Amino acid sequence: MDANILQCYIDAGQVASQVLREAVKYASHKVDVPVLELAQIAEARIIELGGQVAFPCNISINEIASHYTPPVNDSLKLQKGDVVKIDVGAHIDGYIADTAATVEISTNKHTKLIGASKKALRNAISMTCAGTNTKDIGKVIESTINEMGFSPIYDLTGHSLKQYSLHANVNIPNYAASFGNTLLAGNVIAIEPFATYGKGTTRNGDAYIFSLNKRFEKHIHNESNMHSKSLLGDIYKQYRYLPFARRWLEDIVDSNIDNYVATGDIIAYPVLHEISGGIVSQFEHTVIVDESGCIVTT
C-alpha cells in the first residue's frame, strides 16, 4: 500500500477510535443523554480532530442492531438499562475508519452479551492475515458467540473498504458461510460481529440514513443533468457515495429525498431491528491485512 494512503487510514483510525471512546464515556457517565446531542457531538469531534465524517453516527438501542441516527427533531434519550451500540466513521481523503462499541447504561445485566461480540471480534482479528478466507473468519465469529450462549446476526456482515466506498465488494460474514473470499495483503476490512438473545436476523424499520446510488456517476459530467437534479448534485459534491443523514440536508432547499429513493437515485438504509426483539451487541474495528496479520487502524 502506498505510504500516503496508509497514513490516511492510520490517521482516520486514530480520529474514529478517539471519538468512539469519548462518545462511550459521554453516554455512560451522565443520565438521560439525548441521542441527537450524542450524535452531533461525535460528528463535530471528528472534524475537530482533523477528519471528515464518513457516515452519520449510528446510535442503535437494545433490539435495534444498526442504522439508527437521530432525525433533527429527535427527543430520544438514553435510559438506564439500555444496551447502546455507538458506530463512528471518519475518513481522510476518502480513506475510511469504521468502528463501533456497545455500552450498557448504568446497569450490568448484559455484560455477557456485550462480551460475546467483543470476544468474537478479538478472535476474528487474531486470525486475519493475507490468505485467510472470509468464511473462516465468519466461522470463528459464529462459534465464539454460540459458545457464550448467543446467536450472531446472520444477515449483517463486515465489509471491505475502498476510497470513498464504505461497503466495497467483499463481505465478512458473521457465520460459517458456504462461500468466502481469500484476503490479500493491502485489503482494508471492517469486521463487525453482532451478538443477540434473539433469532439472529433483522427486519427493516424507518430510514434516516441514505446514500447516492453509484449509478448517478453517469450523470455527473452532464451539466444540464446536474442542474435538473440539483439535490443529487449537491449531495455528490458534499458526500460522494458515502452515507448521509436526512438531518444533514437542512441547508439544501430541495430536501425531499423520498422521490429520489422511489426512483432509485438515492438508496435508503432502514433501521435494522432484530426480528424477534432480542437485544443486540456489536463491536467493530477496521483493519489493514498484511502478510503476517493485520494492522488495527481503530
Site residues (CB under 5 A) for Mn ion?
A: 87, 98, 100, 190, 284
Question: Which residue in the list 43, 98, 104, 136 is annotated as catalytic?
Answer: 98
32 noted as active-site residue:
no
Residue closer to Mn ion (CB basis): 11 or 98 = 98
Establish whether 104 is a catalytic residue. Answer: no
Nearest distance in Å: CB 192, Mn ion: 5
All three cell numbers of 130: 493475507
Verify whether residue 251 is a known catalytic residue: no
- Min CB(154)–Mn ion separation in Å: 16
Give the shortest CB-21-to-Mn ion separation in angstroms. 15
Look up 291 and say whether it is catalytic.
no
Q: Is 287 helix (H, G, I), strand (E, B) or coil?
A: strand
Q: Taking each helix axis as running N to C, give the angle between helix 35-48 and helix 3-28, from 0 to 180 degrees, rounded to the nearest 10.
A: 150
- Rg of the chain's alpha carbons, rounded to an integer? 19
Q: What is d(CA 84, CA 226) in angstroms, rounded to the nearest whole number?
A: 40
Q: Would you say 110 or 159 has its CB closer to Mn ion?
A: 159
Q: How far is CA 202 from the centre of its chain?
A: 16
- CB of residue 190 vs Mn ion: minimum separation in angstroms? 4
Q: Is 3 exposed, middle or buried (0-12, 13-18, 19+ CB in 10 A)?
A: exposed
Q: Which of 104, 192, 265, 274 is catalytic?
A: 192
From the list 67, 91, 110, 167, the catalytic residue is 167
> Which residues are within 8 A (CB) of 263 and not within 5 positions of it... i.e. 6 or more apart?
none
CB closer to Mn ion out of 11 and 284: 284
The stretches of the chain forming alpha helices (DSSP H) are 3-28, 35-48, 111-127, 134-147, 223-228, 230-239, 258-263
> Please, how many CA atoms are within 13 Å of residue 111, restricted to the half-sphere of its CB?
4
DSSP characters over 205-234: EEEEEEEE-GGGGGGTT-HHHHHHTHHHHH
Nearer to Mn ion, 265 or 281 (CB): 281
- Rounded to a whole number of angstroms, the minimum distance from the CB of residue 108 to Mn ion is 25
- Active-site pick, 82, 104, 265, 284: 284
Catalytic residue among 67, 159, 273, 285: 159
147 is catalytic: no
Angle between helix 111-127 and helix 134-147 axes, rounded to 10 deg? 150
Using the minimum distance from each CB to Mn ion, give the nearer residue, 86 or 266: 86
Of 116, 144, 99, 105, nearest to 281 by C-alpha is: 116
Q: Please, what is the minimum distance in Å from the beta carbon of residue 121 to Mn ion?
A: 12
Residue among 100 and 105 whose Cβ is closer to Mn ion: 100
Active-site residue list: 87, 98, 159, 167, 192, 284
